[in-house]
């Protein structure tokens, strides 16, 4: 009696594992099917989800699951074999400050993400030069009056190390100079949402965020070297603080993964849903 | 003792036994089936218990094993006593976070314990029963509010308030975190304290009043000492919750790796540092191992707390 029960459970377990195994083992045939796991950047997640919805309607046999835990987890998950696609805000096949290159991975551009330095509206400053930004974020300039604003202490809000937004802001707005890491007017936040709340509720605060998050009257995007952070300025090349969003894959993408990336790169998606989500299409940067 | 009126009663026991052995047309006798069910049930229970223990020990083992790898590259002394946490430059001093955790817990307890004991006394000794019946469920509900809600309120309501009251620039820091944690552990501590005060026998109070003591004297000199072990139990449970709390703390503490030597200085504790960094570090790096080690430390601390709770409980039973 007992052995029968055990056998039944055993069979069930086997059947379940087989069915899972077979799903991931199937590769592209004439009718596309398979399973795609996406992990990584939270900035790219809305784009991934939107694309996955549309792609699944065209290819009902393809299963796509997407999650986000931060840029660097993308290429890491790909390296460990947990994910097929690692979404990352920088080209992880090359080294950036703090992160070595992920060898053997191919970076597929999927979108353009602009970033902006944002300050609490109380600061009275709307335009900063690169050297002023460097001074503020390294802790050398501590009062807004030193950069033409009100007599108010500057509170620097930073993203935690490993954030894709942080990597890009450091590389392109601060020209690679270091952030301050200590002080009683310095704090770190976990996500873009926390950054927005912190900037909006802290008088004198400055930080940086994806351009799509900038809204409302409590925070303002700061012009960098007299150039406003707008999509138009990114496209005409005058505003430099932006980066491509990448899908990292182990080697060249194949099968369903390739079809999915192709779909995101297609003109239909780039000019349609991607623009609606306030990303900038790849074609605009040529 | 007395003569049994009829011998029928003597029979019935045997009949009961016979019915157990008697076949009911099935392959196995009733007795065999019963003992099989009993044994199976026992095995299932034991297996579940072993399973839980196995999970606990494998978690401990996994955390410990990964954490220990830290000491391949970082010396024991540096990890526990250095205040330099710059993992980008291979400096792994976790003292800031250990100190922060202890300081935050201590501060939380200093604020929350007197408050919750007073609430418990009010609840158990001074309130009419209709109010008791209304307040107790409310406190129980407060325990169930997700910590992220407390954190968000702390971030958007408490911190601007602290800023305007004290005139500091940020308001983030150990005091803000302690206030949020106090609100979180208050219901836990006061409800358990309340229960242990209610459990104090009425005769103690009667005796005290009979000797001419006032209500205040009775409560402070008789009831609270009698409920002491229960109160300690409540305090330790609250402390365990305060030490392990992550989400709410992350949102108000500022997350800056510097020593918490002032009430309004952004700092970081074990839990908040782990949750801020774990998703962004590479799998096989000293940084990752160091974070695991910090998690292991937290586990050890809460294990010690649980052992302490068991000891105190044991003493309470003996009394």
The DSSP line for B90-138 is: TEE--HHHHHHHHHHHHHHHHHHHHHHHHHHHIIIIIS-HHHHHHHHHH
Q: pLDDT tens digit string along A50-102?
A: 999 999 999 999 999 998 878 888 898 899 888 999 999 999 998 887 788 88
Report the b/e string of A255-279 with b at 16+ CB within 10 A: bbbebbbebbbeeebbeebbeeeeb
Same fold, A34-113+243-284 and A114-236: yes
- Contact state of B169 with A201 under an 8 Å Cβ cutoff: no
What pLDDT shows up at residue B213? Answer: 93
Assign A217 a pLDDT band (cuts: 50, 70, 90): confident
- Contact state of B256 with A186 under an 8 Å Cβ cutoff: yes
Tell whether B170 is covered by a domain: yes
Judge whether B96 and B268 are in contact, CB under 8 Å.
Answer: yes
What pLDDT shows up at residue A30? Answer: 42
What pLDDT shows up at residue B296? Answer: 94
Residues in chain B within 8 Å Cβ distance of A69:
279
Tell whether B3 is covered by a domain: no
Is a pLDDT exceeding 70 seen at residue B219?
yes
What pLDDT shows up at residue A22? Answer: 42
Judge whether A240 and A135 are in contact, CB under 8 Å.
Answer: no
Q: Which of B103, B117, B151 lies closest to B252, judged by CA?
A: B151
Tell whether B47 is covered by a domain: no
Q: Which of B248, B122, B251, B127 lies closest to B185, judged by CA?
A: B248
- Contact state of B88 with A98 under an 8 Å Cβ cutoff: yes
What pLDDT shows up at residue B184? Answer: 94
Assign A163 a pLDDT band (cuts: 50, 70, 90): confident
Query: Look-up: residue for tokens 């540096």?
Result: B78
According to CATH, the topology of domain A34-113+243-284 is D-Maltodextrin-Binding Protein; domain 2 (3.40.190)
Helix or strand or coil: residue A129? coil
What mean pLDDT do residues B153-178 have? 91
- Contact state of A76 with B282 under an 8 Å Cβ cutoff: yes
Q: 10 Å Cβ neighbour count for B26? A: 9
Is a pLDDT exceeding 50 seen at residue A23?
no
Tell whether B212 is covered by a domain: yes
Alpha-carbon Rg for chain B, nearest whole angstrom, is 28
State the Cα–Cα distance between residues B115 and B185, nearest whole angstrom. Answer: 11
Q: pLDDT tens digit string along B226-249?
A: 999 899 999 999 999 999 999 999
Mean pLDDT of chain B, nearest integer: 87
Assign A184 a pLDDT band (cuts: 50, 70, 90): confident
Tell whether B23 is covered by a domain: no
Q: CA of B279, closest CA in chain A: separation in Å? A: 6
Is a pLDDT exceeding 60 seen at residue B86?
yes
**B194 has a chain A CB within 8 A of its CB:** no
What pLDDT shows up at residue A21? Answer: 43
In CATH, what number is assigned to the domain containing residue B199?
A: 1.10.3720.10
B36: nearest CA partner in chain A: A2
What pLDDT shows up at residue A20? Answer: 47
What pLDDT shows up at residue A27? Answer: 41
Instruction: Sketch the domain layout of chain A as residue ranges.
Output: 34-113+243-284, 114-236
Alpha-carbon Rg for chain A, nearest whole angstrom, is 22
**A178 has a chain B CB within 8 A of its CB:** no
The structure tokens listed for A238 are 């005058």
Q: pLDDT tens digit string along B33-69?
A: 899 999 999 999 999 999 999 999 999 999 999 999 9
What pLDDT shows up at residue A8? Answer: 59
Tell whether B181 is covered by a domain: yes
Number of domains in chain B: 1
Q: pLDDT tens digit string along A221-260?
A: 999 999 999 989 999 999 999 999 999 999 999 889 999 9
Q: pLDDT tens digit string along A90-135?
A: 999 988 877 888 889 999 999 999 999 999 998 889 999 999 999 9
List of residues 6+ apart from A109 with CB closer than 8 A: A244, A245, A246, A265, A282
List of residues 6+ apart from B71 with CB closer than 8 A: B79
- Contact state of A160 with B262 under an 8 Å Cβ cutoff: no
What mean pLDDT do residues A191-197 have? 87
Tell whether B42 is covered by a domain: no
Tell whether B6 is covered by a domain: no
Residues in chain A within 8 Å Cβ distance of B169:
153, 155, 184-185, 202-204
Helix or strand or coil: residue B24? coil
State the Cα–Cα distance between residues A72 and A130, nearest whole angstrom. Answer: 26
Judge whether B236 and B109 are in contact, CB under 8 Å.
Answer: no
Q: 10 Å Cβ neighbour count for B153? A: 17
Helix or strand or coil: residue B260? coil
**B41 has a chain A CB within 8 A of its CB:** no
The structure tokens listed for B236 are 């330790």
- The CATH code belonging to domain A114-236 is 3.40.190.10
CA dihedral B298, B304, B305, B310 (to 10 degrees): 150
**B262 has a chain A CB within 8 A of its CB:** yes
Phi, psi at A280, each rounded to 5°: -105, 130
- Residue in A80, A201, A204 nearest the CB of B169: A204
Mean pLDDT of chain A, nearest integer: 86
Assign B21 a pLDDT band (cuts: 50, 70, 90): low
What pLDDT shows up at residue A161? Answer: 84
Domain span including residue B274: 72-314
- Contact state of A187 with B254 under an 8 Å Cβ cutoff: yes
């Amino acid at each position: 009696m007992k052995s029968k029960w055990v056998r039944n459970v055993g069979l069930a377990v086997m059947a379940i594992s087989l069915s899972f195994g077979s799903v991931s083992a199937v590769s592209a045939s004439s009718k596309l099917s398979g399973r795609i796991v996406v992990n990584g950047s939270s900035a790219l997640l809305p784009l991934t989800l939107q694309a996955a919805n549309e792609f699944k309607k065209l290819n009902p046999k393809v299963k796509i699951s997407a999650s986000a835990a931060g840029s660097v987890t993308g290429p890491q998950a790909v390296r460990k074999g947990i994910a097929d696609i690692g979404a990352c805000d920088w080209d992880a096949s090359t080294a950036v400050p703090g992160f070595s290159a992920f060898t053997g991975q191919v970076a597929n551009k999927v979108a353009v993400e602009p970033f902006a330095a944002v300050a609490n509206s109380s600061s009275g400053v709307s335009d900063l030069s690169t050297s002023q930004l460097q001074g503020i974020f390294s802790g050398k300039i501590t009062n807004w009056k030193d950069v033409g604003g009100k007599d108010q202490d500057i509170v620097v809000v930073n993203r935690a190390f490993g954030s894709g937004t942080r990597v890009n802001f450091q590389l392109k707005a601060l020209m690679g100079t270091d952030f301050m890491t200590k002080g009683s007017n310095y704090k770190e936040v976990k996500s873009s949402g926390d950054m927005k709340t912190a900037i909006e509720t802290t008088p004198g605060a400055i930080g940086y965020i994806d351009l799509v998050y900038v809204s409302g009257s409590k925070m303002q995007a700061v012009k960098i070297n007299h150039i406003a952070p707008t999509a138009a300025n990114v496209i005409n090349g005058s505003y430099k603080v932006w980066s491509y969003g990448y899908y990292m894959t182990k080697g060249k993408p194949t099968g369903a993964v390739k079809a999915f990336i192709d779909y995101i790169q297609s003109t239909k998606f780039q000019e349609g849903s991607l623009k609606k989500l306030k990303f900038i299409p790849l074609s605009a940067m040529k | 003792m007395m003569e049994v009126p009829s011998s029928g009663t003597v029979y019935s026991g045997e009949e009961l036994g016979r019915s157990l052995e008697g076949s009911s047309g099935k392959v196995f006798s009733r007795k065999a089936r019963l003992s099989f069910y009993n044994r199976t049930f026992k095995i299932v229970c034991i297996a579940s218990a072993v399973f839980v223990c196995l999970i606990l020990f494998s978690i401990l083992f996994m955390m410990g094993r990964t954490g220990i790898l830290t000491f391949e590259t970082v010396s024991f002394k540096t990890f526990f006593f250095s205040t330099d946490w710059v993992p980008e430059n291979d400096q792994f001093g976790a003292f800031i976070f250990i100190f922060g955790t202890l300081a935050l817990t201590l501060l939380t307890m200093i604020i929350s314990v007197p408050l919750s004991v007073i609430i418990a006394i009010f609840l158990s000794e001074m309130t009419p029963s209709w109010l008791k019946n209304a307040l107790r469920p409310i406190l129980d509900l407060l325990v169930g509010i997700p910590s992220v809600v407390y954190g968000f309120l702390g971030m958007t309501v408490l911190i601007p308030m602290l800023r305007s009251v004290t005139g500091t620039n940020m308001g983030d820091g150990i005091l803000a975190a302690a206030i949020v944690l106090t609100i979180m552990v208050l219901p836990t501590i006061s409800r358990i304290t309340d229960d242990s005060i209610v459990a104090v026998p009425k005769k103690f109070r009667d005796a005290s009043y009979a000797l001419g003591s006032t209500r205040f004297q009775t409560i402070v000199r008789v009831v609270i000492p009698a409920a002491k072990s229960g109160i300690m139990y409540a305090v330790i449970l609250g402390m365990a919750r305060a030490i392990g709390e992550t989400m709410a703390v992350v949102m108000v503490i500022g997350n800056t790796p510097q020593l918490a030597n002032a009430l309004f200085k952004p700092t970081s504790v074990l839990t908040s540092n782990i949750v801020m960094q774990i998703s962004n570090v590479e799998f096989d790096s000293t940084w990752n191992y160091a974070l695991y080690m910090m998690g292991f430390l937290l586990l050890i601390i809460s294990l010690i707390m649980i052992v302490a709770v068991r000891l105190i409980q044991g003493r309470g039973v003996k009394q």
